[in-house]
């Protein structure tokens, strides 16, 4: 149906599936395709990526599109591959275009179904794979529009209140090279530092897919969790429960439990660890039983902070046992995990589809991995590649998600050893993490010089007051932080 939105003097002709309803902050538009004719001509466009690692940011309708351009495997892993539109501007879940004087016209989904929002010089449009979720449409000052959207999103999908606190993670120092002795030493060295969580990352398990203690943890994971707890930290653990590498026990013995391709074979749903990997078909009863067992096991060991990684793989296209939409299958699986672990376990989503994770995850990663270097020479033109810069750009462009869950921009560095980031770059990472209000690092105490240890302590102890003064400008305890030139 044809409709005209009126925002003050602005009249926006629209084609909608039904009559919109006014709310105190905008309009709720019925499910179905949306097209708005805007009068702004070529203008700024906000593109939002599908999962934690997917590129997000501002471009212009006559400028380059934002996204992963040069690799199908990268796209499969780090964005919504089947809905990507490399030659026209679109993003996942929400999009906005710039009007005059710092205003934006925003369209955002209020549910699931792989919603997409795009724009050109005449239109801003939205559609989804299911036409089941309503949309929110608003016009107003930029930060206000995003805040209003976030508010209605958490009204619809929920908002959890647990906070992660200050997290130490093993990934950005030891990577997969962890063993129980190294962990014990690292924990001992960190004793007395004001961390809340000590989180083991990838490397403890024998292989991705088999969530048991690997050969480097001969005393078992309960013993390691115990050591962490004794040192006064909350034990945290990484796992990727939606995926399995081809050589894992579950993939070898039960290929029927995996999401299938059209030929009825396990489907490759991403690439990492020098291999393709598969996804568990969470619509199957036996997979739910498996998940229940995995989560009872890891929480039974004593881990109560779980970083669940590569979660998007539970929401990719593919054949599943039950005919439910992929994002619904995903959200049902996460809700099932949440029910299994209870409300007290902190769930940090990583590689999660952003919108379907609202209300079930306590926190979510909002950018690609950081690394101890600024740019990624290996992945030029891939904004999802590892590196401090890519991580900052994505995270700062998703600061508005703070209102729906905790947002994790990834670890910050204090070390100058084994690090190519200079002090200004390290400081910028720290500032971004302060802006997003999430504190995590991976630096082992023994890698830090005396002055760096002092900086780390100070960072963990002080929480600056954050004010956003513009799209990329902030005030931290009154100190101006302007990221415009970087983002
Ligand atoms: C452990 C790591 C760390 C890290 C996670 C995740 O797009 N990618 O292909 C891609 C691969 C790996 C990756 C991120 C993105 O790293 O983000 O913090 O836990 O797994 O293996």
CATH number, domain of 61, equals 2.60.40
**Pairwise CA distance, residues 244 & 265, whole Å:** 14
Quick check: is 216 catalytic? no
Residues of the chain falling short of pLDDT 70: none
Q: What is the pLDDT of residues 372-402, one digit of tens each?
A: 999 988 888 899 999 999 999 999 999 999 9
Pair 150, 285 in one domain: no
Q: Is the CB of 98 under 6 A from ligand 1?
A: no
In a domain, 487, yes or no: no
pLDDT for the residue numbered 373: 97
Pair 79, 174 in one domain: no
pLDDT for the residue numbered 201: 99
Which SS3 state, helix, strand or coil, does residue 23 take? coil
The single residue of 281, 309, 362, 382 carrying the catalytic annotation is 309
CB neighbour list of residue 284: distance below 8 Å, 6 or more residues apart: 257, 320, 321, 322
pLDDT for the residue numbered 88: 97
Pair 109, 220 in one domain: no
By DSSP bridging, strand 439-441 and strand 2-7 are: unpaired
Report which ligand 1 atom has the smallest distance to the Cα of 384.
7
Pair 148, 203 in one domain: no
Q: For ligand 1, atom 12, which residue shows the shortest CA distance?
A: 272
Pair 358, 377 in one domain: yes
Would you give the DSSP letter of residue 464?
-
Q: How many angstroms separate the alpha carbon of residue 282 from the centre of ligand 1?
A: 22
Q: How many angstroms separate the alpha carbon of residue 348 from the centre of ligand 1?
A: 13
By DSSP bridging, strand 197-200 and strand 439-441 are: unpaired
Would you give the DSSP letter of residue 353?
B
pLDDT for the residue numbered 443: 98
Quick check: is 369 catalytic? yes
Report which ligand 1 atom has the smallest distance to the Cα of 350.
17
Per the structure, the complete domain to which residue 52 belongs is given by 2-157
**Pairwise CA distance, residues 220 & 212, whole Å:** 8
Q: Is the CB of 369 under 6 A from ligand 1?
A: yes
Q: Is the CB of 205 under 6 A from ligand 1?
A: no
Pair 85, 187 in one domain: no
Q: What is the pLDDT of residues 318-361, one digit of tens each?
A: 999 999 999 999 999 999 999 999 999 999 999 999 999 999 99
Q: Is the CB of 272 under 6 A from ligand 1?
A: yes
Cα 3–chain centre separation:
35
Pair 149, 224 in one domain: no
Q: How many angstroms separate the alpha carbon of residue 11 from the centre of ligand 1?
A: 45
In a domain, 14, yes or no: yes
């Amino acid at each position: 149906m044809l409709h005209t939105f009126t925002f003050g003097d602005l009249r926006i002709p629209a084609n909608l599936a039904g009559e919109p309803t006014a709310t105190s902050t905008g309009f709720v538009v019925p499910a179905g395709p949306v097209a708005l004719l805007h009068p702004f001509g070529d203008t700024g466009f906000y593109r939002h990526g599908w999962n934690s690692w997917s590129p997000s940011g501002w471009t212009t309708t006559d400028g380059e599109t934002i996204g992963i351009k040069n690799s199908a495997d990268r796209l499969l892993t780090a964005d919504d591959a089947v809905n990507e539109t490399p030659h026209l501007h679109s993003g996942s879940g929400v999009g906005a275009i710039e009007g005059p004087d710092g205003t934006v016209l925003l369209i955002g989904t209020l549910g699931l179904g792989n919603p997409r929002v795009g724009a050109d010089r005449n239109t801003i449009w939205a559609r989804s794979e299911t036409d089941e979720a309503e949309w929110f449409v608003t016009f107003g000052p930029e930060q206000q529009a995003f805040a209003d959207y976030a508010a209605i999103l958490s009204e619809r999908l929920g908002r959890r209140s647990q906070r992660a606190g200050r997290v130490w993670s093993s990934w950005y120092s030891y990577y997969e090279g962890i063993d129980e002795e190294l962990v014990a030493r690292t924990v001992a060295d960190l004793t007395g530092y004001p961390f809340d969580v000590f989180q083991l990352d990838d490397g403890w398990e024998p292989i991705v897919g088999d969530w048991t203690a690997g050969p480097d943890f001969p005393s078992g994971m309960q013993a390691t969790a115990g050591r962490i707890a004794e040192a006064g930290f909350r034990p945290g653990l990484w796992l990727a429960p939606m995926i399995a590498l081809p050589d894992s026990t579950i993939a070898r013995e039960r290929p029927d439990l995996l999401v299938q391709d059209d030929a009825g074979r396990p489907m490759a749903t991403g690439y990492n660890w020098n291999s393709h990997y598969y996804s568990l078909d969470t619509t199957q009863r036996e997979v739910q039983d498996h998940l229940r067992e995995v989560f009872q096991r890891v929480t039974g060991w004593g881990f109560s902070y779980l970083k669940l990684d590569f979660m998007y793989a539970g929401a990719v296209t593919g054949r599943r046992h039950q005919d439910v939409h992929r994002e619904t299958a995903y959200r049902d699986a996460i809700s099932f995990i949440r029910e299994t672990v209870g409300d007290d376990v902190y769930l940090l989503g990583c590689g999660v589809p952003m919108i379907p994770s609202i209300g079930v995850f306590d926190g979510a990663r909002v950018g690609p991995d950081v690394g101890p270097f600024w740019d990624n020479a290996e992945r030029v033109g891939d904004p999802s590649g590892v590196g401090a810069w890519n991580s900052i750009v994505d995270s700062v462009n998703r600061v508005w998600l703070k209102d729906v869950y905790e947002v994790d921009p990834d670890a910050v560095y204090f070390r100058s050893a084994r690090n190519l980031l200079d002090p200004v770059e390290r400081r910028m990472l720290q500032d971004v993490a302060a802006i997003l209000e999430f504190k995590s690092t991976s630096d082992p105490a023994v890698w830090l010089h005396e002055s760096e240890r002092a900086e780390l302590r100070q960072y963990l102890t002080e929480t600056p007051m954050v004010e956003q003064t513009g799209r990329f400008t902030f005030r931290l305890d009154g100190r101006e932080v302007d990221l415009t030139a970087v983002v």
